[in-house]
């Protein structure tokens, strides 16, 4: 699909609602995908994101070695692939092949974009001070992409143990909050 | 409403989907409420939560002074109150009075529970190492409460600028993920 550049100032609105994301990394031409929900915005602009990645995950070592990743945001259309990636380890398999996902080159980082996701955020690790204690990486989003044809993305939200909530109705209220 | 004790081992499932929450604090008998979405789970059990609270907020000082708070999770039924709390500062007003919310005493902390929220998580600040750099507080949830009559809570998820998504359909997939 054809993605458009997305303003960095609006990235927080993609992650703040708390979707399940697919984090991609790559080393020596071998890409990996990890499914996770433990992320938070830390700053609006430049967009800074905190992300907990257990050291039991293959992606932990890839991230430590490369300091780069892409946060890809899936919708319910590919939920089987999202859960499949969460159920398997990239130490043994190529998840792009296994789950028929398309790796597209990123612009700023070595990790690939997952084409089937409606949004892709290219990230650099900017702070590892909290990795030893909490496995918490701090990323700066340096380039963002969006599929302009997706209007109200049906993002997936994990309730635990394979139970998911799908993004529902949209409402707007008068708010002073950014 | 009558709340029941909720197992600490299941708390992650309440926060992982990314709902807007109302954080309560209290000092010298004066309670405050702050609306926020920038939180992430850090550990399953005991449940550890990271939460970004800007130092421009009244709650920042209350939290630094008391090291205690309650994370209250609202549903769409009270979204006007949730946004009202986000649009105002507790430096000038009593938000419980202003928005007709009911403060109930917590069991373990001095901050009150918001009775109208379907879940309440009593928290202690356990790490302030990241407050200076990122306004990121680390909480341990030490007691959790739930309204057992609420089955599929219609939580609120902020998309930015007063746009919200309401929790939609539930699905279950076979998952090895906790």
Give DSSP secondary structure letters for chain B: ---EE--GGGTHHHHTT---EEEEEEETTEEEEEEE--EEEEETTTTEEEEE--TTSHHHHHHHHH-EEEEEE-BGGGHHHHHHHHHS-TTTS-HHHHTT--EE--SSSSSPEETTSSEEEEEEEEE-TTHHHH-EEEEEEEEEEE-TT-SS--BEEEEETTEEEEEEEEEE------
Which residue of B160, B166, B176, B178 to mutate against A (max A Cβ within 10 Å)? B160
What does the pLDDT read at residue A143? Answer: 98
At A20-33, the pLDDT tens digits run 999 999 998 899 99
Question: Which residues, given as ranges, of chain B have pLDDT below 50?
Answer: none
Does residue A80 sit in helix, strand or coil?
helix
The answer to whether A162 contacts chain B (CB < 8 Å) is yes
| pTM of the shown model | 0.97
- Is the separation of the CB atoms in B33 and B175 below 8 Å? no
What does the pLDDT read at residue B158? Answer: 98
Among the residue ranges A46-55, A90-99, B31-40, the one predicted with the least confidence is: A90-99
Residue whose C-alpha is closest to residue A38's, from B43, B22, B7: B43
How confident is residue A117, by pLDDT bands cut at 50, 70 and 90? very high
* Helix (H) or strand (E) segment spanning residue A103: strand A103-104
- pLDDT mean over A40-59: 96
Q: How many CB atoms lie within 10 A of CB A108?
A: 13
Residue whose C-alpha is closest to residue A95's, from A34, A138, A176: A34
Residue A154 CB-half CA count within 13 A: 12
Spatial distance between the Cα atoms of B54 and B59, rounded to a whole number of angstroms: 9
Residues of A in contact with B10 (CB under 8 A): 160
The answer to whether B175 contacts chain A (CB < 8 Å) is yes
Q: Is there a contact between A160 and B10 if contact means CB atoms under 8 Å apart?
A: yes
What does the pLDDT read at residue B92? Answer: 84
The answer to whether B46 contacts chain A (CB < 8 Å) is no
Domains of chain B: 4-166 (2.30.110.10)
- pLDDT mean over A80-92: 92
What does the pLDDT read at residue A146? Answer: 98
Q: How many CB atoms lie within 10 A of CB A171?
A: 14
What does the pLDDT read at residue A86? Answer: 92
The answer to whether B35 contacts chain A (CB < 8 Å) is yes
Residue whose C-alpha is closest to residue B88's, from B36, B34, B51, B156: B34
Q: Is there a contact between B37 and A16 if contact means CB atoms under 8 Å apart?
A: yes
Provide the shortest C-alpha distance from residue B128 to chain A (in Å): 12
- Is the separation of the CB atoms in A134 and A140 below 8 Å? no
The answer to whether A50 contacts chain B (CB < 8 Å) is yes
Tokens describing residue A128: 């590892």
Chain B residue with minimum CA distance to A163: B172
What does the pLDDT read at residue B53? Answer: 96
Cis bond leading into B46, ω under 30°?
Answer: yes
Does residue A165 sit in helix, strand or coil?
strand
Spatial distance between the Cα atoms of A145 and A7, rounded to a whole number of angstroms: 8
Spatial distance between the Cα atoms of B131 and B136, rounded to a whole number of angstroms: 5
Q: Is there a contact between A87 and B175 if contact means CB atoms under 8 Å apart?
A: yes
Spatial distance between the Cα atoms of B114 and B110, rounded to a whole number of angstroms: 13
Does residue A157 sit in helix, strand or coil?
strand
Chain B residue with minimum CA distance to A17: B157
At residue B122, what are phi and psi to the nearest 5 degrees?
A: -80, 130
Give DSSP secondary structure letters for B48-91: EEEEE--TTSHHHHHHHHH-EEEEEE-BGGGHHHHHHHHHS-TT
**DSSP assignment letter at A177:** -
Please state, for a pLDDT cut of 70, what percent of chain A lies above it.
100
- pLDDT mean over A61-86: 97
Does residue A172 sit in helix, strand or coil?
strand
Spatial distance between the Cα atoms of B96 and B12, rounded to a whole number of angstroms: 27
What does the pLDDT read at residue A175? Answer: 84
At B144-176, the pLDDT tens digits run 999 999 999 999 999 999 999 999 999 999 888
């Amino acid at each position: 699909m054809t993605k458009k550049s997305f303003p960095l100032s609006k990235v927080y609105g993609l992650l703040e609602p708390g979707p399940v994301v697919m984090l991609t990394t790559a080393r020596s031409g071998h890409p990996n995908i990890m499914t996770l929900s433990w992320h938070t915005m830390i700053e609006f602009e430049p967009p800074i994101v905190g992300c907990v990645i257990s050291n039991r995950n293959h992606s932990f070592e890839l991230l430590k070695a490369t300091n780069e990743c892409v946060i890809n945001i899936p919708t319910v259309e590919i939920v089987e692939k999202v859960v499949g990636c969460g159920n398997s380890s990239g130490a043994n398999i190529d998840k792009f092949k296994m789950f028929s996902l398309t790796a597209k080159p990123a612009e700023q980082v070595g990790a690939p974009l997952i084409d089937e996701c409606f949004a892709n955020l290219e990230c650099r690790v900017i702070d590892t001070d909290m990795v030893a204690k909490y496995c918490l990486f701090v990323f700066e989003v340096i380039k963002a992409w969006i599929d302009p044809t997706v209007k109200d993305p049906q993002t997936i939200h994990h309730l635990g143990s394979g139970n998911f909530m799908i993004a529902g109705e949209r409402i707007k209220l008068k708010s002073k909050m950014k």
